[in-house]
Amino acid sequence: MPDIRKVIVTGGCGYIGSHTVVELAEAGIEPIIVDNLSNSRIEVLDGLARILGKRPAFFQVNCCDTGSFQNAIKASGKIDGVIHFAAFKSVGESVRNPLKYYSNNLGAMSETLVAMEEFGIPRLIFSSSCSVYGNPDVLPVTEDRLLGNPESPYAITKQVCEKMLMDLLTSGSKMDAVILRYFNPIGAHPSAHIGELPIGTPENLIPYVTQAAAGVRPPLVVYGNDYDTPDGTCIRDYIHVVDLARAHVFALNHAIGTAGVQFARPEIFNLGTGKGNSVMEVIHAFEKSTGKTVPFRIGPRRAGDVVKIYADVSKAEKEMGWKAALTLEDALKDAWRWEKRSKE
């Protein structure tokens, strides 16, 4: 691993952020968490401590608060990079409350870039989303596909954040940057010390599946079974969150390997498995791998949902040396283990 010692992780107490903190620490990189806990819990630090043997450095700061954010950076010493997760992420909520998403997601990205320029932090890994592709007409989706019409305000914020970064680099910034377009992360750390635990009613499929199976929630609502797919339910590329987290270390390595090269645009990589599964396939796979029944009912379509999407991941394997190693069943078993432990 090239010489990189300390990285700011915005949103590091969140679902993907916390798993990435583990992978960074295990790769010998010190993670500095910046999170305002608006959509995460302070107890995540306890889970990280159990996995890593100590609590990571933590600043309870909103990235949109310029002064506090920059003070956290100053207090952290020399920073070699930023991994920017901090954003609201629910497609459904963004449709219901778009201004919340425009204000927070765009503001957090802008302030992060301003701070990086101010302190000369040389590399950024940006947490983007496959939602920027809209409803693709060709599958699997490659990184060079023209971005589609976003299906939700959440997706629009990811598109605009990518454009913000591209405009900064075009202006002559010396920053090296990698954009990672996530498909659908699921699962939990195999230790069951950290995992996906949404505040309030889950908007994502898997935490609702596990909570419905545990009897914590009413039956799962499958939003539409009349789509143009084999079983009528939406298709996604579900990737184990540990695989996704590992990719951020590879991305840092890739950015360092190209340091000094001025990109006309940031490097972009899809992160998925390259395989799509429908909602019903996921439900059946969960029942088979855990022995638990998932109560569900069919409901109307949900605004903002893409019909089907899965990734072409050959670029990430070829250029970064990263490939997903864990299966759908692995992810579902780990998600169920986390669900059980989180209720103890």
Which residue of the set 15, 101, 154, 208 is catalytic? 154
- Kind and range of the H or E element at 341? helix 328-342
- Give residue 133's identity as a one-letter amino acid code: Y
Looking at the DSSP assignment, which residues form a beta bridge with residue 176?
Answer: 123
> How many residues are present in the chain?
344
Q: What is d(CA 189, CA 56) in angstroms, rounded to the nearest whole number?
A: 17
Contact in structure between 237 and 274 (CB atoms under 8 Å)? yes
The verdict on whether 101 is a catalytic residue reads no
53, with CB counted inside 10 A (0-12, 13-18, 19+), is exposed
Q: What are phi and psi of 185, to 5 degrees?
A: -70, 135
CB 173: neighbour CB atoms within 10 A? 17
> What's the token pair of residue 219?
């039956």
Strands (E), 26-143: 30-34, 57-59, 81-84, 123-129
| Catalytic annotation, residues | 154
